[in-house]
Amino acid sequence: MVPPRRGEEPAAAPRDEASPSLRWPPAKLLQSAPLSAARIRNLVEEIAQSAAEAPDRASRRWIMAEGVRTLRQLVGAYEIEFGPVPPVEQGLPHRELGPVFRAMIRSADTVIAQADPTEDSFYELRLLQVRMLALLGQDEEALRRVDELAAMVKAIQSHDLREDVVGLNMTMCLKHGRLDQGARPLLRLLAERRVRRPLTRRFLLELGLIGRARGLLAPMGLGASCRIARVWTTIARLRPRRYFGRGSALLLSRHAKRVFKREAVIQRVPGDVAKAIRAMGGLGDLLMMTPGLRALARLSGHKVEFAVPSRFAPLFAGNPDIVMLPIETLSADWARSDAVVDLTDCPGTAGETATAPNITVNRIELFARAMGVTDAQLAQIGTRPVFEPTPQSREAARAWLAQRGLAPGSFAVVQAMPMERYRHYRRMSEVAQGAAALLPVVAFHDRELPGYDAPGIFTAFDLDLPLSLAVACEARMMIAPDSSFLHLAGARDIPCVLISGPTDGALRAGSYPRTTVVSMKETFRCMPCWRNASMPCQVTGGPDSVCLDLLPVERVMQAVRDCLTLATRPA
């Protein structure tokens, strides 16, 4: 979950509204006056305690997002009155500001200890600490911390938060004469971001930061970037339509970004260890990244250092091309390198959004392109995902199967439900029951679901990730929506029936020759619409996809029977 930005509505609470840890209203403290250091300390301690007592990960994320939102309101109120970076000679702008913000800075460390370093709340809290230090006039410490944050910007998921970090870094560096330290991270952000049409006000403000310092930045080798910034900020003030819309965005994306990239020295030295970072899941995307990572390793001659959340470590434990680094313990020096490929700002989503609904490029290729791997190089090395269970997890999986009287290769796997509702086939339990009449079925999901207690169905709702993956790899065939088990089947060359809806199943499974796609494409002209969770169905206007809701179970079962006649489990 990305915390809401200024002016946005708060994040929606998890379903378990009755949980005691969710019954705290931090925003009410803002209505109480005077705002004392003790009141701030109590607020921060309550956030930390509530996060520690949260019943699950989703609740903890919601609590942290709401807590950060409240703290951001407090800091923002002071910044509106005194400015984001008050002059040093101004001193403490209010006699209560010192004790209040010193209490917040100390107490925020307690909240940060509860925050997940793979969530944006973690970086939001650290940025709030920087802003409070700046308000207190502790500039050296604020500069040190904001420089570390700017180095870790590729681990931040929110575009707005990325720009907050890099923009504050540039502002503080301008104030204190450390232009090179702030300008180059800002140029990197501008060079690697995707310009939306028409040009956003935020993008032009960032250009303005560079343009204002052009006299000082030009001798540092940033002259061309300063000239582009000056021209575009001038055009923005005049705002003629013919320059401010589609054409200006096109020119910026093609010309200015090349200049920014060159002058910011964004380059990878041949022979260097390749690095990549992905601050979130999901499992399907991570599996689709493995062909590009394999190609990157072969091209560089070294294993790729891949920084991901530690909970996804089992996915790469047996991968010979990757050294997995837990993002929770990642150093700023490692992330500062130009060689780090940013996969957090998802290239797959960006590429599909830019061309939807006429998408013709598989996500595997989009991820590889973002790593600098050409289509020809990828085709030569292979486009199948890579996953290999460890010997320990394979042994544990076979023991789990033996306890239930199942042999490897004798059962089908059903992924009961994807994480995204719009991809969910609501009659999947009926498919599982029908398949159980043909062979045993093992159903997977991260929580208990109704409809899977029929004879012949074994539920795997409580397994950890390594055991789940290893058990699924022993299947004779899989039945899955457009989600992680589709790509796991492709990686292990296991026959799969893909139940496809809003996405193009033939394109998504293009690298998996043993996958059979079932859809209603001949019935609905809008397929594939490539909608996502924020877009309603074009037909019903609701959150569910009608092309999946009306898909007959018998059509899926026919594909299952056809798949079984050909299915032989690889050794």
Taking the C-alpha atoms of residue 97 and residue 132, their distance in angstroms, rounded to an integer, is 9
Q: Is the pLDDT assigned to residue 113 strictly greater than 80?
A: no
Sort strands 477-481 and 496-499 into parallel, antiparallel or unpaired: parallel
Q: Which residues are registered as beta bridge partners of 341?
A: 276
Interval 119-131: pLDDT, tens: 888 888 888 888 8
> What CA–CA distance (Å, rounded) separates 113 from 122?
9
pLDDT of 163-179, one tens digit each? Answer: 788 878 877 877 776 76
Question: Residues 297, 219: one domain?
Answer: no
When comparing pLDDT for 234 and 466, which is higher?
Answer: 466
Closest alpha carbon to 397 in 491, 464, 489, 445: 464
Domain range holding 376?
A: 275-381
209 lies in the same domain as 306: no
197: Cβ–Cβ under 8 A, 6 or more apart, which residues? 245, 246, 249
User: Residue 58 domain-assigned?
Assistant: yes
Residue 386 within a domain? no
In this predicted model, what pLDDT tens digit does every residue of 1-26 receive, in sequence order?
333 343 333 444 443 333 333 334 44
- List pLDDT tens digits, range 476-528: 999 999 999 999 999 999 999 999 999 999 999 999 999 999 999 999 989 99
How high is the pLDDT of residue 255?
66
Q: Residue 306: enclosing H or E segment and its boundaries? A: strand 304-308
| Structure confidence at residue 554 as a pLDDT band (50, 70, 90) | very high
Clarify whether residues 6 and 126 are in a common domain: yes
383-429 pLDDT, tens per residue?
999 999 999 999 999 999 999 999 999 999 999 999 889 999 999 99
- How many domains does the chain divide into? 4
Give the confidence band of 335 by pLDDT, cuts at 50, 70, 90.
Answer: confident
Higher pLDDT among residues 512 and 43, named by residue:
512
Domain's final residue, options 176, 191, 220: 176
Q: What is the pLDDT of residues 437-458, one digit of tens each?
A: 999 999 999 889 999 999 999 9
Are residues 145 and 169 located together in one domain of the fold? Answer: yes
Domain-located, residue 543: yes
The domain that holds 539 is classified in CATH as 3.40.50.2000
Q: What does the pLDDT look like over 51-62, one tens digit per residue? A: 777 777 677 777
pLDDT for res 235: 65
Same domain, 448 and 489: yes
pLDDT of residue 158: 85
Q: Is 514 helix (H, G, I), strand (E, B) or coil?
A: coil
The verdict on 166 and 185 lying in the same domain is: no
Of residues 135 and 130, the one with the higher pLDDT is 130
CB atoms within 10 A of CB 333: 9
